[in-house]
Amino acid sequence: MGADAAGSGAPIERPEGRYLHGVPDADLKVVGKPWRKIDARARVTGQTRFADDLFAPRMAYCKLLRSTQAHARIVRIDASAAEAMEGVYAVLLGKDLPITFGILPVSQDEHTLCIDKVRFVGDPVAAVAAVDEDTAWEACRKIVVEYEALPLVTDVFTAAATDPEAPHEHRIHDYGRLGNFHRQENLEFGDLAQGFGESDLVREDFFFFEGNTHLPMEEHATLATFDPDGKLCVQSSTQTPHYLHRALAKVLAEHVPAHKIRVIACPNGGGFGGKSDPFSHEIAVAMLSIRTGRPVKVTLTREEVFYTHRGRHPVLMRSRIGVSRSGRIKALDFETHLDGGAYGSYGTASTFYTGALQCVTYHVENYWFRGARYFTNKAPCGPKRGHGTPQPRFALEVQMDKLAVELGLDPVRIRKDNLVPANSLTANWMRVGTMALGRCIDQVVAGSGFLDRWQKLPHGKGVGLACSSYLSGAGLPIYWNAMPHSGVQLKLDRSGLVTVFCGSTDIGQGSNSILAYVVGEVLGLDPQDLRIVTSDTDLTPVDLGSYSSRVTLMTGNAALQAAERARDLIAPHVADKLGVPRNRIGFAKGRVFDVSDPDQGMPFADAVQLAESKLGTIGTTGSYRPPKSPARYKGGGVGPSANYSFTAAVVEVDVDPETGIYTVPRIFVAHDIGRSINPCLVMGQVEGSVYMGLGEAMMEEMSYRSDRFGVHKIPSMLDYKSPTTMEMPELITWLVGDPDPNGPFGAKEAGQGPLLPIMPAVANAVFDAVGVRVDEVPITPEKVFEGIERARKGKEPRVGPTKTPHVDWPEARKVRTPWQGGTGLEVEREQEELAAARANGGASRERRGD
Amino acid sequence: MLRLPKFSYHRPASGAEAVRIVAAHGGEARYVAGGTDLYPNMKRRVQRPGHVVALSRCQDLRGMRGEARSGVTIGAMTTLSAIEHDPRLRAEYPGFVHAASVVSTPLLRNMGTIGGNLLLDTRCNYYDQSHEWRESIDFCKKCDGSTCWVAPSSPRCWAVQSSDTVPLLCAIDASVTLLGADGERRVPLRALYRDDGIDFVQKRHEELLTALHLPATNGWRASYRKLRRRGSFDFPVLGVGACLSMDGDRVAELDVRIGGAGSWPIPAQKTVEMLRGAVLRFDDAASDELIRAAAQEAYKPTRAMDNTDLDAHWRKKMAPVFVARAIRDCLPGAPPRRDVLG
Ligand SMILES: Cc1cc2nc3c(=O)[nH]c(=O)nc-3n(C[C@H](O)[C@H](O)[C@H](O)COP(=O)(O)OP(=O)(O)OC[C@H]3O[C@@H](n4cnc5c(N)ncnc54)[C@H](O)[C@@H]3O)c2cc1C
Ligand code: SF4
């Protein structure tokens, strides 16, 4: 016990104690059962208070004035007419908040309000606080902004062609690489020349994945209150209160210190990654509240949500793959070009993610990844469900399908033959632990009768198979630090109430419930009886946020540690009282008792009182940090995870060859979840992912009028097409897999991975149905029709890109693969390390992040 | 959320009173029925009436009269849902009911009226945008600006006729009653619409549409084929209404109107001429070939432009397909329509 009993100690990197992954299902009372979400009733009866539901006395309303120009210098702003309006309390301009911010330390490139230039239509330029929304809106119309147009860049080819010698204003930002390149990455694992040399077949294909947005039902809203005691409270629809706290502290440094800023994340009405950056509107209302001494609220319109964006990057890809006659992957040379939009956002991470997970599903012997991100005058892209991995996954899975056809193999065989073995390292040093992709494939193939139908259905009908993998939480935090990624505190009350404090944010996925299930399981309590307090930077220990599918795994492990510690505090005192050995004490059904004679025991509340009388106030903490990654090269910080989920899907399509219009009657999906903490919530995540993936496959796209002012073509929920219930197919879902040692109770992620196989499976099914390759997402009826027409005219029945922009890549960082005897470091640094070790007479290994 | 601008709200108890109010305020006033078209337009500041005259209390604009043998009259305030679920209309005017039932979503059909649907504003994705968005393109000819961004060198506006019922109702030759300051008149729908995105209805501003008149069902069959992205929500980006009466195996009369691809329901004149008097049978290869060839003539008059969802060239190519399908639907023996797409 000792230090542990006091509830402190180092963060764990994998679960420990009584509830290891190996605990049999039968021994679990809560975990693995379809419990109701603890906040379900409030949600479905409309009583959950979202950010826009908040009202405060004397509250002012904020509206932002946004740029009408896609790329322009601000010559003059005159807000005097707006300031003079009756009912206007304050007008904020860019110069009032000169400190920059941004989610990543490497791209602090945003101002709350633009100061000297605007970078896309929708860039915030001024903020008004007024007595009501109408007055604030009218006041915005009275602010005069004079612009001087700058050259417009709306695609990666134009961005790549920006003359590095051209005048400064041709660049959207004055940082990053030359011209309008934000990032250029070049990583080489193994010996590509040898890999391609050994290949019997080499294919080169080009793919394009159009950008799309999150489309959460709830528009972003924030209420900021600066109180007379100089404390600021910001309640917001954010997925990342901790990062928002950091951004506020940075930008408002002159006005309020970090410890006087409190951020509360409200329940999110959907996020999907779209609420994980700190945003201008959040900082603007905070400053307006400081200015006016009133609570100030802002609620974005749907159109503004489109501008706030941070959604899926449009990615143009080239993939050259070399395989043996039997389909084994010898070499993969993969190039991505990300159209980043106007700001950095998570873009650096997104760039690496387009190369990170290719090798996690199929064994790739030699791997070369090059990725470039460009600045363009469009709404900034960022993380959307699957963050940077759906695009390359689409390319790879379609390419696998093409390889299978070309080699006369079937799509099942080629995938199964290439599967990454469990407990292995990939060419790029990702550590794969448990891996049930083979079982996922078997399940959907058997369940859908794939092999009896593939290439055998009548013209117009088709089936397609695809697979994917995703990480259960990023291995590194967004800013470099050695602290835990997730912390949990428990407070045990004399009434028997256990309160769980955690910084995590429930965005509808059920993360609050997960805390209740984990603690309820360990302490033998009904999860509905616990009090869960989350996402409040004043009250709860830090959790990094709801992104990268990290929450269940990380908060679950932290909660597990805290709960085990609480158990360890209580059990000895009950044992003493009952006069039995300590190891015979059990916790179940709200009681603490002798497991050999369960009638001997006491209610949980009595046990808490007993312990409190001996120890004083009872509280514990738990914290979690992901295990160190063997990927130690620069750029290796993106991709490692405690474990990986796997998914396989079969999609059926029904194509009308006369029009190209198609429907999707059924989808079969199997997901390797490790062990479900709540299978019902996992199913919900899997099915929601399939739905979202189907939208990306069939129709969703952020389209701009590049030729006309660079405006977003359709910033509304009517015109940005996303599937309705009418498009949702019949869905058959299986959860498979074995408990993973790194997940709480063996759990893996569920929220993102199952989205990934849908787009390529649709593309593969369309090919099976009508012989047309649409190497582009979305796969619209126009494109299918074009392919059919091309076939009719004797042309290659393919629709998709044929080239990528020219890039002068920086020299490759070469890393030897594990099977080449590498160390996870760049060859160059391996030698440095060796030399240093020789000099020191011993090796010192430092983990490095990017 | 976008907010409505301020306006005065009137709730007259009869059609005649409503007409008086609008006549008194001129261009400053507008009728509102279900508001599903007007209010979004007001939020986007493309329509800015200072006076909104609600028709919800006008009992004289409600109800249905008549019978199939002599024709049915439907009050302008009848909702699309009421039409969709009316057993008699379903039995006797299935083509019309189908067209009404593919308008948007059940929620919008509960609010939206047939009168509003017939007078729905034309649409264009340079125009159906917020004030701020339109400011970014310096507005357009239909509202607050001077250029048409769809066809900058053209003198007119190409906003799109987007009502689902209009092409079909024109094809079956339905008519409406308009009540003006100086009395009522009855106008065939075929004469009500004009090929202009701005000035698309031939009626005086204060004229109130009081009723829709469906013709007697004496043997004709009608069908509506709608092209849209999704099975719900979406406006037609091509909507073909066809009406056919046969004399034995021979086409006696045919009318085909193409909606969603021009500023008015475009008559498919050539197609109709080619098929007049032709021998057509359902599920017959020769007939299908004849129909396909005639439908091909619908390609040219279809004015699909780049101002709606889906690619304009593809939409234009789809017109012959949809025209052929709509005509085939009307052949004796064709199964009743149930699908929501295509
Ligand atoms: C998301 C969305 C999707 C839609 N999808 C479709 C679709 O797929 N197909 C489709 O056809 N429509 C669609 N609509 C448009 C609209 O909902 C319907 O056309 C509806 O029938 C309009 O009727 P309303 O009563 O709501 O009209 P209102 O908005 O009340 O009126 C429309 C116009 O007609 C005038 N008006 C109304 N009644 C009269 C009258 N009796 N006499 C004179 N003038 C009158 C009004 O002044 C106004 O200009 C959609 C609308 C939305 C918001
Ligand atoms: S067609 Fe031209 S004028 Fe008419 S609404 Fe569209 S852009 Fe404006």
How far from A503 is each of A479, A500, B207, CA to CA, in Å? 17, 10, 62
Decide if B161 contacts B122 (C-beta within 8 A): yes
Ligand 1 centroid – CA B225 distance (Å): 20
pLDDT above 60: residue B185: yes
Helix or strand holding residue A246 (H, E): helix A241-251
DSSP character for B244?
Answer: E
Domain assignment of residue A730, yes or no: no
Interface test with chain B among A713, A788, A792, A799, by most B beta carbons within 10 Å: A713
Q: In the beta sheet, which residues pair with residue A672? A: A646, A736
B342 and A727: CB-CB below 8 Å? Answer: no
CA-CA distance, A337 to B28, in Å (whole number)? 53
Nearest atom within ligand 1 for CA of residue B165:
11
Ligand 2 centroid – CA A104 distance (Å): 42
Decide if B142 contacts B157 (C-beta within 8 A): yes
pLDDT above 60: residue B299: yes
Decide if B115 contacts B61 (C-beta within 8 A): yes
Residue of B nearest to A299 (CA): B1
Q: In this structure, what are the phi and psi dihedrals at residue B175, rounded to the nearest 5 degrees? A: -135, 170
Domain assignment of residue A620, yes or no: yes
Nearest atom within ligand 1 for CA of residue B113:
25
**Count of domains observed in chain A:** 2
3-class DSSP state of B200: coil
CA-CA distance, A235 to A385, in Å (whole number)? 24
Selection from A585, A607, A611, A610 nearest residue A598 by Cα: A585
Domain assignment of residue A174, yes or no: no
Q: What pairing do the DSSP bridges indicate for beta strands B71-75 and A296-299?
A: unpaired
Ligand nearest to the CA of B199: 2
3-class DSSP state of A588: strand
Query: How high is the pLDDT of residue B341?
Result: 58
Query: How high is the pLDDT of residue A16?
Result: 83
**Measured on CA atoms in the order B85, B89, B91, B93, is the torsion positive or negative?**
negative
Q: Could you tell me the domains of chain B? A: 59-119+160-329 (3.30.465.10)
Query: How high is the pLDDT of residue A9?
Result: 73
Residue A525, domain CATH = 3.30.365.10
Output the residue whose Cα is nearest ligand 2's atom 2. Answer: B148
Selection from B317, B267, B25 nearest residue A792 by Cα: B317
Residue of B nearest to A69 (CA): B136
Tens-place pLDDT, residues A739-791:
999 999 999 999 999 999 999 999 999 999 999 999 999 999 999 999 999 99
Name the minimum distance, in Å, from the CA of A301 to any CA of chain B.
5
Tens-place pLDDT, residues B92-127:
999 999 999 999 999 999 999 999 999 999 999 999
- On average, the pLDDT of chain B sits at 97
Domain assignment of residue A633, yes or no: no
B182 C-beta neighbours (distance < 10 Å), count = 10
- Residue A571 has which token pair? 């059990």
B232 and A661: CB-CB below 8 Å? Answer: no
Q: Please name the member of B3, B149, B231 whose beta carbon is closest to the beta carbon of A724.
A: B231
Domain assignment of residue A65, yes or no: yes
Question: In sequence order, what are the residues at sequence separation of 6 or more whose Cβ sits closer than 8 angstroms to the Cβ of residue A442?
Answer: none
Ligand 2 centroid – CA B120 distance (Å): 16
3-class DSSP state of A206: strand
3-class DSSP state of A568: helix
Q: What pairing do the DSSP bridges indicate for beta strands A296-299 and A60-66?
A: parallel
CA-CA distance, A97 to A78, in Å (whole number)? 17
**CA A37 to chain CA mean position, Å:** 22
Q: Please name the member of B129, B229, B314 whose beta carbon is closest to the beta carbon of A785.
A: B314
Q: Please name the member of B230, B311, B340 whose beta carbon is closest to the beta carbon of A723.
A: B230
Q: How far apart are the first and last CA of chain B?
A: 33
Ligand 2 centroid – CA B306 distance (Å): 10
Q: Please name the member of B6, B135, B342 whose beta carbon is closest to the beta carbon of A661.
A: B342
Tell me whether A618 touches chain B (CB under 8 Å): no
- Domain enclosing residue A533, as ranges: 484-624
Name the minimum distance, in Å, from the CA of A65 to any CA of chain B.
9
CA-CA distance, A554 to A743, in Å (whole number)? 8
Q: What Rg do the C-alpha atoms of chain A give, in angstroms?
A: 27
Q: In this structure, what are the phi and psi dihedrals at residue A334, rounded to the nearest 5 degrees? A: -125, 130
Check if B164 has its Cβ closer than 6 Å to any atom of ligand 1. yes
Regarding pTM above 0.95, the answer is yes
Q: Which of A594, A624, A654 is the last residue of a domain?
A: A624
A219 and B1: CB-CB below 8 Å? Answer: yes
Tens-place pLDDT, residues B58-84:
999 999 999 999 999 999 999 999 999
Q: In this structure, what are the phi and psi dihedrals at residue A328, rounded to the nearest 5 degrees? A: -75, 135
Domain assignment of residue A704, yes or no: no
Residue of B nearest to A71 (CA): B136
Domain assignment of residue A646, yes or no: no
Nearest atom within ligand 2 for CA of residue B160:
1
Ligand 2 pocket by C-beta < 6 Å: which residues?
Answer: B 124, 126-127, 140-142, 148-150, 157-159, 197, 307
- Residue A366 has which token pair? 């030699």
3-class DSSP state of B108: helix
Domain assignment of residue A787, yes or no: no
**How many residues in total does chain A contain?**
850
Decide if A409 contacts A773 (C-beta within 8 A): no
Tell me whether A718 touches chain B (CB under 8 Å): yes
**CA A423 to chain CA mean position, Å:** 24
B185 C-beta neighbours (distance < 10 Å), count = 12
**Mean pLDDT across the stretch B142-153?**
97
CA-CA distance, B7 to A440, in Å (whole number)? 60
Q: What Rg do the C-alpha atoms of chain B give, in angstroms?
A: 20
B136 and A709: CB-CB below 8 Å? Answer: yes
Query: How high is the pLDDT of residue A826?
Result: 96
Q: Which of A566, A600, A624 is the last residue of a domain?
A: A624
CA-CA distance, B238 to B304, in Å (whole number)? 8
Ligand 1 centroid – CA B52 distance (Å): 15
Query: How high is the pLDDT of residue B319?
Result: 98
Tokens 């699957």 label which residue?
A: A386
3-class DSSP state of A44: helix
Q: Which of A569, A589, A624 is the last residue of a domain?
A: A624
For the stretch A597-636, what's the b/e string if a residue is b when 16 or more beta carbons lie within 10 angstroms of its beta carbon? eeeebbebbbbbbbbbeeeeebbbbbbbbbbebbbbbbbb
DSSP character for A754?
Answer: G
Tell me whether A118 touches chain B (CB under 8 Å): no
Mean pLDDT by 10 residues, chain A (850 residues): 51 84 91 96 95 98 98 97 98 98 97 98 98 98 97 96 82 92 98 98 98 98 97 98 98 98 97 98 98 98 98 98 98 98 98 98 98 98 98 98 97 98 98 98 98 98 98 95 97 98 96 98 97 98 96 97 97 97 96 97 98 97 97 96 98 98 98 97 97 98 92 97 97 97 97 98 98 98 98 98 97 98 95 86 46
Q: Where are the alpha helices (DSSP H) in A321-375?
A: 347-356, 358-361
Tell me whether A26 touches chain B (CB under 8 Å): no
Residue A516's Cβ-count burial label (10 Å; 0-12, 13-18, 19+) is buried
CA-CA distance, B284 to A80, in Å (whole number)? 75
Residue A120, domain CATH = 3.90.1170.50
The answer for B 120-139 residues in CB contact with A (under 8 A) is 125, 128-130, 132-133, 135-137
B280 C-beta neighbours (distance < 10 Å), count = 23
Query: How high is the pLDDT of residue A1?
Result: 37
